[in-house]
């Protein structure tokens, strides 16, 4: 039979194959629109929630914004308290109340009146960044920053050395002041400070320097000063003026000491 006599017979699909193809085509015709609608919903929902911003970046800035808001709120309340205190002082003077020796003594003990005299400033600082970027063997990141116990050690030593009044950074220290650190930042009476941390005290310089020299906590800190370069300076002051505390002196909570 010659090539021209060969007939081309089309291949016929069986009934089962036709049914299977029809079923698959129906499934795809339903699944594809559903998937497209779902994807579109997710895209629109994400865009609506983000409103054109990076959601992760927004979460990262929430804490910073909260701290800034709290700082502004605290500043406003501090100013209000200072104004009210000024009014009380003025009215007290009009009534000849604040002229009594007892009143002045109480003000000094509470830390609400200014104190001036010779004293000592102690400065604590983190190790230089060059040290922090290449830590020596056996040294952890926490070893090269100032901690809460370091500041407290200096404060306690100065008090034991006869300090008459004290200031940490720009805030007067009173009986209810609490020193707290988060990472390498200092939190004092609601305000946040970065190193270097300065503690100033009015009193006998030699007595306070002696108290610092015999303090176990200060000695432990100074060991790391020599080992990793933490900052430590004692600065004698011929004349220090520590303003009175202008925040609230209302006691909110008290606990019995163990």
Contact in structure between 88 and 213 (CB atoms under 8 Å): no
Helix count and strand count (H, E) for the chain: 7, 8
Kindly report the CATH number assigned to the domain that includes residue 143. Answer: 3.30.70.1880
Q: How far apart are CA 82 and CA 244, in angstroms?
A: 10
Contact in structure between 241 and 200 (CB atoms under 8 Å): no
pLDDT at 231 over 60: yes
pLDDT at 125 over 70: yes
Number of domains in the chain: 1
pLDDT at 97 over 90: no
Residue-wise pLDDT tens digits, 145-179: 999 999 999 999 999 999 999 999 988 988 777 88
Question: Do the domain assignments include residue 202?
Answer: yes
Mean pLDDT of the chain: 74
Structure tokens at 7: 């007939």
Residue that wins the pLDDT comparison between 199 and 39: 199
The band of 50, judged by pLDDT with boundaries at 50, 70 and 90, is: very low
- Looking at the DSSP bridge assignments, the partners of residue 120 are 201, 236
Residue 122, SS3 per DSSP: strand
Question: Do the domain assignments include residue 180?
Answer: yes
Per the structure, the complete domain to which residue 214 belongs is given by 114-242
Question: Do the domain assignments include residue 33?
Answer: no
Against a cut of 0.75, is the pTM above it? no
Question: Do the domain assignments include residue 194?
Answer: yes
Q: How far apart are CA 78 and CA 74, in angstroms?
A: 6
DSSP character string of 104-171: HHHHHHHT-S-EEEEEEEEEEEPPPHHHHHSPPTT--GGGGS--HHHHHHHHHHHHHTT-SEEEETTE
Question: Do the domain assignments include residue 138?
Answer: yes
Question: Do the domain assignments include residue 125?
Answer: yes
Question: Do the domain assignments include residue 6?
Answer: no
pLDDT at 8 over 60: no
Per-residue pLDDT, 199:
96
Question: Do the domain assignments include residue 9?
Answer: no
């Amino acid at each position: 039979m010659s090539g021209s006599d060969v007939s081309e017979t089309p291949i016929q699909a069986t009934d089962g194959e036709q049914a299977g193809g029809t079923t698959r085509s129906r499934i795809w015709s339903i699944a594809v629109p559903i998937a497209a609608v779902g994807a579109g919903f997710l895209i629109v929902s994400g865009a609506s929630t983000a409103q054109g911003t990076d959601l992760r970046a927004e979460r990262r800035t929430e804490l910073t914004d909260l701290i800034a808001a709290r700082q502004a709120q605290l500043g406003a309340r501090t100013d209000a308290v200072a104004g009210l205190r000024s009014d009380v002082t003025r009215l007290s003077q009009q009534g000849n109340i604040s002229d009594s020796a007892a009143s002045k003594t109480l003000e000094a003990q509470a830390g609400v009146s200014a104190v001036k005299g010779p004293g000592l400033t102690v400065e604590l600082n983190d190790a230089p960044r060059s040290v922090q970027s290449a830590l020596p063997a056996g040294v952890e990141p926490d070893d090269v920053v100032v901690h809460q116990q370091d500041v407290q050690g200096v404060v306690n030593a100065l008090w034991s050395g006869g300090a008459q009044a004290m200031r940490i950074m720009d805030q007067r220290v009173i009986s209810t002041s609490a020193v707290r650190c988060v990472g390498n930042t200092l939190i004092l009476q609601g305000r946040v400070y970065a190193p270097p941390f300065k503690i100033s005290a009015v009193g006998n310089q030699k007595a306070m320097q002696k108290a610092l020299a015999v303090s176990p906590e200060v000695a432990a800190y100074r060991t790391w000063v020599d080992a990793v370069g933490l900052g430590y300076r004692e600065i004698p002051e011929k004349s220090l003026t520590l303003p009175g505390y202008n925040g609230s002196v209302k006691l909110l909570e008290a606990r019995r000491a163990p």
